[in-house]
Amino acid sequence: MNLLAGVNDVLKKVQIVSTTNPLTSLTHSGKQVFIDNAISSWNEAIDQVYSKSKVLRPKQGGEDSITLVENQREYDLPCDMVQIRWPLHNVTKGVYIAKYPGEYEELRTLLVQPENYTGQPQTGAISPIDGVLYIDMIPTSAEDGDVYEFFYWRDTGLSRKSDVFPFSDTVYRALVPVVSELWRYNQNQRMSGDIAKLNYGRAIRALKQEPEETAWIKRGGIRYSSSPIGFDPYKG
């Protein structure tokens, strides 16, 4: 399924478009506010379902590096980065730059006279101001050229009509009611928590490829399902 189909299914459910006259693009002078809400709601639901399921989103991971420069404390990070995965690793020297245990502001305050802290960096923090990596030590000529590799999570939001959802059709069908509820909430500040909770559960189970939970009855040491599937040989 692609984003255009997803927007159409949501807008059909909330009765903005008809089944016989679906959208053919994500631009429409009379319905743009509804379309934009649907796109935003889809991205919000996708972020939530991957976060709740603790499954890494396809193509969400990225890999990059920084190269230390003498007398330079701040380093640019990938423009599509959402979250860095600490620590940064220098494989040549076998050393790391770990996440500073406090916040960026705390690290800045700790360095009373910043120019006096030089040498091998140990920790760093991401600046909330401009998104650069701020390290605790200013590299000297001995550290100049050291390369630190790192993994990060990238932004993989959907925006084009041809963008494909990063999961199976089963997950997609479970999320359509969720996204419709999010759409209603964003549009009217109203949402059915029961519907959202139920269908998030369906989507997460499908994403993790887990069977739907049923009621189990234990008889004679064997657990029987209340569903027609029968007994559960793995949970006896």
Contact 100, 136 (CB under 8 A): yes
> Three-class SS of residue 179?
helix
DSSP letter (8 states) at residue 131: -
CB contact set of 86 (below 8 Å; sequence gap of 6+): 97, 98, 99, 150
What is the model's pLDDT at position 4? 97
Residues 6+ apart with CB under 8 A from 26: 3, 4, 7, 35, 39, 160, 161
Look up tokens 């209340």; give the residue: 226
In the chain, domain spans: 3-57+158-225, 61-154
3-state helix, strand, coil in the chain (%, to 5): 35, 25, 45
pTM passes above 0.75? no
3-state DSSP call for residue 61?
strand
Q: What is the mean pLDDT of each run of 10 residues along the chain (236 residues)?
A: 96 95 95 96 89 80 95 94 92 97 94 96 95 97 98 87 92 94 83 59 67 43 38 34
Would you state the pLDDT for residue 57?
A: 80
The DSSP secondary-structure symbol of 201 reads: H
- pLDDT score recorded for residue 110: 95
102-133 burial by CB neighbour count: b if 16+ within 10 A, else e? eebeebeeeeeeeeeebebbebbbbbeeeebb
